[in-house]
Amino acid sequence: MNETPKNLDHISTQWSAVHDVEHFLVRYSAAVRHYLEALLGKDGDADDVGQEFFLKVVANGFVRASPDRGRFRDYLKTAVRNAALTHLRKQQRQPDLMDVAVLQDTVASADPDAERRWPADWRTCLLNRAWRALEVHQQRSPGNLFWTVLRLSVDHADEDSTALAARAAEIAGRPLRADAFRQQLRGARLLFAELLVKEVAQTLESPTSVDVEGELAETGLSLHVVPFLPAD
């Protein structure tokens, strides 16, 4: 974790990592699943399309994915939507089903909800990745309580540092003063912000600080980052 960038000007990315199947499945499968549910409903259709989509990714990767197609989250959303429409066209081969135009209209009518859910689900995926990375950092750093103190501060936001320190001490099995809790929390917030920046940068090609700031703002992640990074 020591190589985590210290501000937005020092970020780097590997947009080509989207061709890494494990990278994709770990990071974005939940967002794909929820988007399909918003388009097709929480039934067998969403299950079938999701399984087929993931199998194709495992077998072929994202053969058409490239940085000149824009942000990966936009590319992915289009790919998932096309998978849903392909599924509907296959269904149309059965004469007892509705006309494909009607089915497409059904998907289109679900778009407002799907479009609202996609950024939220994408944001959740990125946040979960940052939380997991923070937890790993704690596990690998003796004496570190970054994940514990940040989690407690979120789950018990109405409590002061004395009460939170007592909770953290019980979890850690060792004494922890309020001032020590606050010090750990400052470090945890900074590292979490840096980890989140890194996750966002993974989906942009050669991003500048302006690019990442724009993506953080558009995905609603700025509040998790901007207050905790250095001013530069």
Q: Give the tens place of pLDDT for each residue, 27-81.
A: 778 888 888 888 887 766 888 898 888 888 777 776 665 555 567 788 888 888 8
| 175 within some domain | yes
**Which residue shows structure tokens 């974005």?**
28
Amino acid 203 reads T
Q: What single-letter DSSP state applies at residue 24?
A: H
In this prediction, residue 120 carries a pLDDT of 83
Contact 82, 90 (CB under 8 A): no
| 188 within some domain | yes
| 1 within some domain | no
Contact 110, 38 (CB under 8 A): yes
How many H helices and E strands in the chain? Answer: 9, 0
pLDDT at 100 over 50: no
| 40 within some domain | yes
Q: Which of 193, 190, 212 is nearest to 13 (CA)?
A: 212
Query: Count of domains in the chain?
Result: 1
Q: Band of the pLDDT at 184, cuts 50, 70, 90?
A: very high
| 126 within some domain | yes
| 2 within some domain | no
Contact 6, 194 (CB under 8 A): yes
In this prediction, residue 78 carries a pLDDT of 83
Cα separation values, 202 from 13, 23, 166, 174, 196, Å: 5, 10, 37, 37, 10
Is the entire prediction scored with pTM above 0.85? Answer: no
Q: What single-letter DSSP state applies at residue 94?
A: S
| 181 within some domain | yes
Tokens of 128: 């979960």
Tell me the C-alpha distance between 220 and 218, whole Å.
6
In this prediction, residue 109 carries a pLDDT of 54
Most confident of 75-84, 119-128, 137-146: 137-146
Range of the domain at 111: 8-228
| 155 within some domain | yes
Contact 1, 133 (CB under 8 A): yes
Most confident of 5-9, 44-48, 92-96, 194-198: 194-198
